[in-house]
């Protein structure tokens, strides 16, 4: 069990935050629906979408239960895990998921 | 409550933002040198930017009782060309004598490239030569984990005291390593990337309140210069004490920034 470091009771956490996160869940569902309704399938294969779909199951993965480490695991999944500097910066922007990972 | 926003880019904000921050309790800010949203075409562009940070912004902030301090460097997004970067770095020592300059920052990596690392190492050396504090920018999104580790290794290899370095933009996957290696950690409150106020409070609950602060990093992109007081509301909403809020947003920044020998709060505080 993780250390109980949040001063609220679990009931208070639900009462305070449920609606906010219900809305965020619906936003993800609507985003995926919008993708399917859009023209062409390039976006459906985009590394960001593949990474997102791989991250979603972590939220209910039994190995995350009672670990309170879901954010950590999602961020790790979305990260570049190589250690050596890249030869050159060909862009100034980041994508949000590692383009060299096979999601 | 009086608070410090230790990372905010006021050159990109309106004077009205200074007023709103002052009304919310902000008494001091520190402004790192950063990317303007476009690559500057000459070192002269940086010379004028450093004048703005050391001369113009302190006066604008003072109108609202806010003490303004800054950090100087060439940011990693414009460090891919080492020849250009070194021309900019030559300008920095002249400005380190200005009374509101706290150190070198925000230096670091962006795409974790070899040239970015070379310039990072040279700027660490510059800080070392001039006994300056260091404020570190860590990369965005998928590049953050790798870039944070490479940056900490570069600082360690240079023999820098980690207690004189603030590693900024930490998140759940980097905070433990940063704190375990003795560095200070900064959490940036952004609406889409980095931390939300809720996650920042989660991190404080999980990793403690020592050597850690929160900042808005308000700039020209999606950001909120009032995100620090909004995070205070989130802390109080969960039942955290006023003492903890003051620890995160006043005592901790004071402890780190006063190592510069330059950091001052307004006399009214």
- Residue B114 to residue A87, Cβ atoms within 8 A: yes
pLDDT of residue A26: 98
DSSP state of A8: S
Residue A55 contacts B where some CB pair is shorter than 8 Å: no
Residue A98 pLDDT > 60, yes or no?
yes
Residue A78 pLDDT > 70, yes or no?
yes
Residue A1 pLDDT > 80, yes or no?
no
- Residue B238 to residue A6, Cβ atoms within 8 A: yes
**DSSP helix/strand/coil, A94:** coil
In this complex, the residue of B110, B115, B144 whose CB is nearest that of residue A79 is B144
State how far the Cα of B80 lies from the Cα of A89, in Å rounded to an integer: 7
Residue in B with minimal Cα distance to A71: B172
ipTM: 0.95
Reported as a pLDDT band with limits 50, 70 and 90, residue A31 is very high
Domain B3-260: CATH class, spelled out: alpha beta
pLDDT digits (tens, 9 = 90+) for B173-204: 999 999 999 999 999 999 888 899 999 999 99
pLDDT of residue A66: 86
Of residues B62, B140, B72, the one with CA closest to residue B107: B72
pLDDT of residue B269: 86
Residue B158 pLDDT > 80, yes or no?
yes
Q: Give the mean model confidence (pLDDT) for residues B134-148.
A: 97
pLDDT of residue B36: 94
Reported as a pLDDT band with limits 50, 70 and 90, residue A65 is confident
pLDDT of residue B268: 84
In this complex, the residue of B141, B145, B205 whose CB is nearest that of residue A6 is B205
Q: How far is B268 from chain A (nearest CA, A)?
A: 34
List of chain A residues whose C-beta atoms are within 8 Å of the C-beta of residue B82: none
CB of B90 closer than 8 Å to CB of B118: no
Establish, for the pair of chains A and B, how many residue pairs have beta carbons separated by less than 8 Å: 89
- DSSP of chain B, one letter per residue? --EEE-S--GGGS-HHHHHHHHHTTEEEEEEE----SS--SSHHHHHHHHHIIIIIHHHHHHTTT-EEEEEE---GGG-SSHHHHHHHHTTHHHHTTSTTEEEEEEEE-SS-BHHHHHHHHHHHHHHHHTT-EEEEEPPPGGGHHHHHHHHHHHHHHTT--GGGEEE-S--TTTHHHHHHTT-EEEEEB-SSSSB-HHHHHHHHHHH-SSSEEEE----SSS--TTHHHHHHHHHHHTT--HHHHHIIIIIHHHHHHGGGS-----TT-
pLDDT of residue B159: 98
Q: Give the mean model confidence (pLDDT) for residues B120-132.
A: 98
pLDDT of residue B267: 87
Residue A83 contacts B where some CB pair is shorter than 8 Å: yes
- Claim: this prediction has a pTM higher than 0.90: yes
pLDDT digits (tens, 9 = 90+) for B218-242: 999 999 999 999 999 999 999 999 9
Residue in A with minimal Cα distance to B113: A86
Mean pLDDT of chain B: 97
pLDDT digits (tens, 9 = 90+) for B84-119: 999 999 999 999 999 999 999 999 999 999 999 999
Residue A78 contacts B where some CB pair is shorter than 8 Å: yes
């Amino acid at each position: 069990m993780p250390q109980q470091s949040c001063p609220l009771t679990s009931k208070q956490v639900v009462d305070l935050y449920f609606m906010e996160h219900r809305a965020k869940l619906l936003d993800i569902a609507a985003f995926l629906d919008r993708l399917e309704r859009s023209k062409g399938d390039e976006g459906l294969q985009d590394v960001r979408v593949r990474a997102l779909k791989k991250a979603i199951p972590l939220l209910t993965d039994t190995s995350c239960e009672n670990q309170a480490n879901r954010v950590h695991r999602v961020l790790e999944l979305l990260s570049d895990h190589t250690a050596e500097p890249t030869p050159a910066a060909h862009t100034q922007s980041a994508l949000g998921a590692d383009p060299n990972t096979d999601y | 409550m009086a608070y410090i926003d230790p990372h905010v880019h006021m050159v990109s904000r309106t004077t009205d933002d200074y007023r709103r921050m002052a009304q919310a309790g902000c008494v001091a800010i520190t402004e790192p040198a950063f990317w303007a949203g476009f690559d500057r075409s000459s070192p002269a562009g940086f010379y004028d930017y450093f004048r703005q940070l050391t001369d113009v912004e302190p006066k604008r902030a003072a109108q609202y009782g806010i003490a303004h301090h800054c950090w100087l460097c060439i940011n990693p997004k414009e460090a891919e060309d080492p020849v250009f970067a070194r021309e900019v770095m030559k300008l920095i020592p002249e400005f380190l004598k200005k009374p509101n300059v706290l150190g070198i920052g925000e230096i670091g990596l962006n795409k974790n490239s070899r040239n970015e690392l070379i310039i990072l190492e040279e700027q660490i050396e510059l800080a070392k030569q001039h006994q300056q504090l260091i404020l570190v920018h860590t990369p965005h999104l998928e590049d953050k984990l790798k870039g944070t580790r490479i940056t900490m290794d570069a600082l360690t290899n240079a023999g820098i005291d980690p207690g004189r370095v603030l590693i900024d933009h930490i998140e759940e996957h980097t905070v433990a390593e940063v704190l375990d290696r003795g560095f200070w950690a900064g959490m940036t409150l952004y609406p889409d990337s980095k931390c939300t106020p809720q996650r920042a409070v989660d991190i404080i609950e999980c990793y403690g309140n020592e050597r850690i602060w929160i900042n808005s990093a308000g700039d020209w992109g999606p950001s909120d210069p009032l995100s620090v007081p909004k995070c205070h509301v989130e802390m109080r909403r969960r039942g955290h004490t006023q003492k903890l809020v003051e620890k995160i947003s006043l005592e901790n920044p004071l402890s780190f920034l006063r190592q510069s020998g330059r950091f001052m709060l307004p006399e009214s505080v």
